[in-house]
């Protein structure tokens, strides 16, 4: 049994009330450990610690911060074989995916540490020869990060590395379902020599902690990854105090496959991306829109991919897909599939919940799904793909833009005019064409409309944690 504590002001500690919550292995449903529950006074103590840490961390040079982050990145690589089994035990993904997540976290930490050395301001030509006009870029202050359970290390590290590279301290509220892997990651940063208070870790009641963090006068930025419903509420609270917000919310990604595309490559790419992490990814392709001339070919190949996937405990050798993270997701997917079939959709493969322990669900494909079905309008967040037919481009683009979700989209075509229309005609924060080029550290990562605003990737993410101050200075004296 693993016992996970809070991390406040450089120390691992229990919550003020002494309460603990159990967390479970989704492959068995068995308890694997307990995590400390933060009380309101723990939240306040963490923010006060971060405010003190800000006075120290902001004075470190960008080069010194980068050196520390590189040490943290190496610590993550060294601990990959320890952290990966923790991810698998509490989130469910296969060990090879879990290890890849840790290595990605190290890459993110390295990249943002280096990018922090390039957070340039600028000198603006002044209208008076005696004036120097400088735009100075500075850290915004204490950041409150709220991260989800689907990539417990990979999502949390974006909050941490971006804030630290920008010169900001952070209070991270991590998910209670997956605490051990996040705590192990935080220890890698602490062991790299991070000053006390610069990184704090909380677990507990999500509404209480998020509300108290956002309303705290010392918190200057809120960075949230999660559902659109929760994001709307948090953004409204942040708006009351004009706290800057980065919201990475839900998605329902369309993928358009045109008849002139490399159908085999499109199918293989989308199948790999759809069932990665058991489909529990906000950028997972969900509405696959395939042109009539290649529909049958695509559907047969895609179904073949799904039926060949080996589902089981992520600790077993040769497993392609682990369980869903919790019973809630399994029940929600069951309901969405049942509704779609009741409305006339064809169940191509999967769709039957297995008996026995754990929250397993087979890779599932639905075709001919009517627009009225819930799954066409609600993010399934699981191993379910919709494969629908379209006849002309206007029809496909209309469906791609129908929903207010606008995080990620995909397109496959070799026709230059179609590619140009994919680039400009899909209203989404990210549109990847003829491959999946999303999510690496150096590129923007963010959505539009109901999928949120702000970025968690690239130099754009750094600027979310910084403020620009304009300082024009007029020289006096005979030499001015």
Residues annotated as part of the active site: 248, 282
Cβ neighbour number for residue 39 with a 10 Å cutoff: 20
Cβ neighbour number for residue 129 with a 10 Å cutoff: 8
Radius of gyration of the chain (CA): 24
Number of H-type helices and E-type strands within the chain? 14, 23
Please give the Cα distance from 398 to 11 (Å, whole number).
Answer: 53
Chain center to CA of 330: 21
| Of residues 361, 332, 359, 358, the one with CA closest to residue 349 | 361
For the stretch 136-139, contacts whose Cβ atoms lie closer than 8 Å and that sit 24 or more positions apart, written own/partner, are: 136/468, 136/469, 136/470, 136/471, 137/463, 137/466, 137/467, 137/468, 138/58, 138/167, 138/466, 138/467, 138/468, 138/469, 139/54, 139/57, 139/58, 139/166, 139/167, 139/168, 139/465, 139/466, 139/467
The conformation of residue 470, written as its DSSP 8-state character, comes to: E
Please give the Cα distance from 108 to 157 (Å, whole number).
Answer: 7
Please give the Cα distance from 127 to 326 (Å, whole number).
Answer: 62
CB 178 within 8 A of CB 129: no
CA distances from 312 to 95, 321, 324, 332 (A): 11, 7, 11, 20
CB 260 within 8 A of CB 418: yes
Q: Which two tokens stand for residue 403?
A: 């929903």
Please give the Cα distance from 373 to 367 (Å, whole number).
Answer: 12
CB 287 within 8 A of CB 254: yes
* Local structure of 27: helix, strand or coil: coil
CB 414 within 8 A of CB 325: no
The residues that bridge with 387 in the sheet, in sequence order, are: 288, 367
């Amino acid at each position: 049994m693993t016992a996970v504590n809070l991390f406040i002001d450089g120390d691992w500690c229990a919550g003020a009330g002494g309460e603990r919550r159990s967390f479970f292995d989704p492959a068995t449903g068995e308890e694997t450990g307990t995590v400390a529950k933060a009380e309101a006074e723990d939240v306040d103590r963490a923010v006060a610690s971060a405010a003190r840490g800000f006075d120290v961390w902001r004075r470190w040079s960008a080069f010194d911060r980068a050196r520390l982050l590189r040490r943290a990145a190496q610590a993550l690589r060294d601990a990959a074989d320890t952290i990966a089994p923790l991810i698998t035990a509490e989130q469910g993904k296969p060990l090879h995916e879990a290890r890849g997540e840790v290595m990605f976290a190290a890459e993110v930490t390295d990249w943002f540490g280096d990018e922090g050395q390039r957070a340039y301001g600028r000198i603006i030509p002044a209208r008076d020869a005696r004036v120097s006009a400088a735009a100075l870029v500075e850290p915004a202050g204490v950041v409150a990060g709220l991260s989800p359970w689907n990539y417990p290390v990979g999502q949390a590290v974006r909050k941490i590395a971006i804030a630290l590279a920008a010169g900001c301290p952070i209070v991270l509220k991590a998910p209670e379902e997956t605490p051990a892997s996040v705590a192990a990651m935080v220890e890698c940063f602490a062991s790299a020599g991070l000053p006390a208070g610069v990184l704090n870790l909380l677990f507990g009641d999500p509404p209480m902690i998020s509300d108290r963090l956002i309303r705290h006068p010392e918190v200057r930025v809120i960075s949230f990854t999660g559902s659109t419903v929760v994001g709307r509420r948090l953004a409204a609270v942040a708006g009351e105090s004009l706290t800057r917000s980065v919201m990475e919310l839900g998605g329902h990604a369309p993928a358009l496959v045109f008849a002139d595309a490399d159908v085999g490559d499109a199918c293989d790419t989308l199948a790999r991306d759809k069932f990665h992490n058991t489909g529990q990814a906000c950028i997972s392709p969900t509405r696959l829109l395939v042109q009539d001339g290649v529909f049958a070919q695509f559907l047969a190949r895609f179904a073949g991919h799904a039926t060949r996937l080996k589902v089981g405990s992520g600790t077993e050798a040769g497993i392609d897909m682990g369980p869903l993270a919790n019973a809630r997701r399994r029940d929600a997917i069951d309901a969405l599939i049942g509704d779609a079939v009741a409305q006339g959709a064809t169940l191509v493969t999967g769709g039957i919940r297995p008996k026995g322990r754990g929250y397993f669900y087979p890779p599932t494909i639905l075709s001919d799904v009517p627009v009225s079905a819930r799954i066409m309008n609600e993010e399934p967040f699981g191993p379910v793909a919709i494969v629908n037919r379209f006849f002309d481009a206007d029809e496909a683009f209309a469906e791609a833009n129908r929903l207010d979700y606008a995080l990620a989209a995909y397109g496959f075509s070799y026709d230059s005019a179609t590619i140009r229309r994919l680039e400009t005609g899909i209203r989404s924060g990210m549109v990847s064409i003829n491959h999946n080029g999303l999510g690496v550290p150096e590129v923007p990562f963010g959505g539009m409309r109901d999928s949120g605003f702000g970025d968690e990737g690239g130099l754009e993410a750094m600027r979310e944690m910084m403020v620009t101050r304009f300082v024009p200075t007029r020289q006096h004296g005979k030499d001015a």
